[in-house]
């Protein structure tokens, strides 16, 4: 059917379609090809990869890069911490953000303009890392698993996005629910939330990716190694691998056989950690993608 439609196009429409598809293919290649290169390097022997020339297929197959990553004694707890903060942090953040956005979109809320301005004001200024650390310490969140969840519950940008989406839901739906005896919370749960699946999916994905990839919080606000998430643990392993190789190169001098015994390099270890970190997001994304379409609102209002 696509072929028949193409032949019915005018010459200008055909040129536009060809150019459009060509640009889309090029864009896909700029994303897929680097990922395939990273995947190939992660399964290639690190020492052999230093020679270069590996693009989309490993030259010397090896699982040593992944074995090195999973050899850490804290890898299981790190996975658990990452899963906990991603699941709990995402669910709590999306729900509380949606409640705040629903309140700010109401025109009858006393001082709604002031509170909206107050939320927007937090996007313009930041106290800095030292005051932020002192605040976390004063409320006993440092060196705690809740330091990954509580400080990131609200995002001013996400609140504004959700409020804008809620404002597009026709007021007649809320009025009909009030006639049926629904209160504000019931309207929020049974009317607003079911109709807001696209924006909820987007905000949830943003939150989940941020939680899963965040290494900074665990590195600077947590001292116990058992409380550090996967991203922080992998970052520490990369730093140690690079430091070890640099030390051996300085100590070995002309004794290159000592360096040749290192089969896992910092670069190959980096590629393996990238695959480990992005794999869960790649697996989950197709299940969320369908909610990115805003068409769920079509037909919800009949007037």
Gap between the Cα atoms of 230 and 71, Å rounded: 13
Residue 102, pLDDT score: 92
Task: Give residue for tokens 């028949």.
Answer: 4
∠ CA(28), CA(61), CA(57), 5° rounding? 25
Q: For the structural domain made of 64-297, what CATH number should be given?
A: 1.10.3720.10
Q: How far are the Cα atoms of 34, 177, 274, 279 from residue 31, in angstroms, in the given order?
A: 6, 46, 14, 15
- H helix runs in 54-187, sequence order: 64-70, 75-104, 112-121, 129-138, 156-167, 171-179, 184-187
Q: Determine which of 47-56, 148-157, 282-291 has the lowest per-residue pLDDT on average.
A: 282-291
Q: pLDDT, tens digit, for every residue of 58-113? A: 888 888 888 888 887 788 888 899 999 999 999 999 999 999 999 998 888 888 88
Cβ contacts of 299 within 8 Å, gap of 6 or more: none
Please give the structure tokens belonging to residue 31. 């994303």
Residue 217: CB atoms within 10 Å: 19
Which of 66, 65, 39 shows the shortest CA–CA distance to 54? Answer: 39
Residue 250, pLDDT score: 66
Q: What is the average per-residue pLDDT within 127-132?
A: 85
Gap between the Cα atoms of 186 and 273, Å rounded: 44
Gap between the Cα atoms of 90 and 77, Å rounded: 19
Gap between the Cα atoms of 209 and 192, Å rounded: 25
Which of 78, 77, 89 shows the shortest CA–CA distance to 210? Answer: 89
Q: What is the average per-residue pLDDT within 146-168?
A: 91
Give yes or no for a contact between 65 and 264, defined as CB atoms under 8 angstroms apart: yes
Gap between the Cα atoms of 157 and 86, Å rounded: 19
Gap between the Cα atoms of 293 and 296, Å rounded: 7
Where are the chain's structural domains?
A: 64-297
Q: Which residues pair with 61 in a beta bridge?
A: 44
Gap between the Cα atoms of 19 and 11, Å rounded: 12
pTM of the predicted model as reported, rounded to 2 decimal places: 0.78
Q: pLDDT, tens digit, for every residue of 243-282? A: 766 676 666 554 545 455 556 677 788 888 888 888 888 8
Give yes or no for a contact between 146 and 140, defined as CB atoms under 8 angstroms apart: no
Residue 271, pLDDT score: 85
């Amino acid at each position: 059917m696509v072929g028949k439609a193409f032949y019915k196009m005018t010459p200008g429409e055909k040129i536009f379609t060809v150019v459009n598809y060509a640009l889309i293919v090029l864009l896909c290649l700029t994303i897929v090809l680097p990922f395939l290169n990273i995947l190939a390097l992660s399964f290639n022997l690190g020492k052999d990869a230093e020679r270069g020339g590996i693009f989309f297929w490993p030259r010397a197959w090896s699982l040593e890069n992944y074995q090195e990553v999973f050899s850490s004694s804290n890898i299981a707890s790190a996975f658990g911490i990452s899963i906990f903060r991603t699941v709990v942090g995402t669910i709590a953040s999306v729900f509380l953000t949606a409640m705040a956005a629903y309140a700010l979109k109401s025109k009858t809320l006393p001082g709604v303009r002031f509170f909206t301005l107050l939320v927007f004001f937090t996007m313009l200024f930041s106290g800095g890392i030292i005051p932020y650390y002192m605040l976390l310490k004063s409320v006993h969140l440092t060196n705690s698993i809740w330091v990954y969840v509580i400080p990131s519950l609200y995002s001013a940008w996400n609140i504004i996005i959700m409020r804008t989406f809620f404002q597009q839901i026709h007021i007649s739906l809320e009025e009909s629910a009030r006639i049926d005896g629904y209160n504000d919370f019931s309207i929020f749960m049974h009317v607003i939330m079911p109709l807001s699946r696209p924006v909820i999916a987007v905000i949830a994905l943003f939150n989940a990716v941020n939680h899963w990839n965040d290494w900074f919080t665990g590195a600077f606000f947590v001292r116990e190694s058992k409380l550090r998430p996967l991203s922080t643990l992998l970052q520490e392993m990369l730093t140690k691998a690079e430091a070890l190789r640099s030390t051996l190169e300085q100590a070995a001098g002309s004794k290159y056989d000592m360096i040749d015994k290192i089969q896992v390099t910092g670069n190959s270890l980096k590629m393996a950690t990238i695959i480990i970190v992005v794999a869960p997001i790649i697996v989950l994304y197709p299940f969320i993608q369908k909610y990115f379409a805003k068409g769920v609102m079509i037909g919800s209002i009949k007037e």
